[in-house]
């Protein structure tokens, strides 16, 4: 009886560990409020506030406007908020497994922290965040230099956008940049 019990325990532990070892889970989206709990103070650089005041925060809400609706109906005969063709640049986490969407994530928060920095379920803890290396290992996106950053912006700021206007990186970065203040 005892032996059987031990076997069941071992089996349970093994099946619990197995999937995490063999098939690393993809990272999940946490939502702006989660990132914002730490990235909001003056000392940290007020990233939450800077983002809230940027147009990225209302990118999804833009799709709910009459102007967007007209564009989407004309191009795809669909509502903009239901068109993957619009959501791919105006929202985050479209079409991914619901298990990877955290309780605080809100789709109507548009282009969010994690849209650019990568889904944060594994790097959001203070212990991981304190080390850039560990954060990157756990899914944080970083860019080698300014050229790489500009390229990442242009994955959305390009001619596929029905309202495209020429993208001038320096001007645009000026509007959304959110550096940690130098100590």
* Contact set with ligand HEC (CB under 6 A): 30, 32, 34-39, 44, 47-48, 51, 55-56, 58-59, 62-63, 67-68, 71-72, 75-76, 80, 83, 85-86, 88-90, 111-117, 120, 124, 126, 129-130, 132, 135, 142-143, 149, 152-153, 155-158, 160-165, 172-173, 175-176, 178-180
Q: Shortest approach of ligand HEC to residue 50 CB, angstroms?
A: 7
**Could you give the CA distance from residue 8 to residue 12 in angstroms, rounded to a whole number?**
6
Q: Shortest approach of ligand HEC to residue 10 CB, angstroms?
A: 35
**Could you give the CA distance from residue 45 to residue 40 in angstroms, rounded to a whole number?**
7
Q: Shortest approach of ligand HEC to residue 98 CB, angstroms?
A: 18
Q: Shortest approach of ligand HEC to residue 120 CB, angstroms?
A: 2
* Residue carrying structure tokens 């089996």: 11
> Toward ligand HEC, which CB reaches closer, 7 or 64?
64
Close Cβ partners of 94 (under 8 Å, ≥ 6 residues apart): 84, 87, 88, 107
Q: Residue 36 CB: number of other CB atoms within 10 A?
A: 17
Q: Residue 64 CB: number of other CB atoms within 10 A?
A: 13
Residue count of the chain: 183
> Toward ligand HEC, which CB reaches closer, 107 or 129?
129
> Toward ligand HEC, which CB reaches closer, 132 or 137?
132
**Could you give the CA distance from residue 41 to residue 38 in angstroms, rounded to a whole number?**
7
């Amino acid at each position: 009886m005892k032996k059987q019990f031990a076997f069941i325990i071992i089996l349970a532990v093994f099946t619990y560990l197995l999937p995490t070892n063999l098939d690393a889970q993809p990272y999940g989206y946490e939502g702006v409020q989660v990132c914002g709990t730490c990235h909001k103070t003056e000392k940290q650089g007020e990233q939450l506030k800077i983002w809230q005041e940027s147009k990225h925060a209302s990118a999804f809400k833009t799709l709910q406007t009459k102007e967007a609706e007209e564009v989407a109906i004309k191009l795809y005969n669909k509502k903009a908020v239901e068109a993957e063709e619009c959501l791919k640049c105006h929202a985050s986490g479209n079409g991914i497994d619901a298990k990877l969407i955290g309780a605080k994530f809100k789709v109507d928060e548009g282009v969010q922290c994690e849209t650019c920095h990568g889904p944060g379920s594994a790097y959001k803890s203070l212990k991981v965040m304190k080390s850039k290396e560990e954060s990157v290992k756990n899914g944080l996106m970083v860019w080698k230099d300014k050229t790489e950053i500009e390229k990442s912006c242009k994955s959305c700021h390009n001619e596929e956008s029905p309202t495209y206007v020429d993208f001038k990186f320096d001007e645009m970065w000026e509007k959304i940049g959110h550096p940690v203040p130098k100590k």
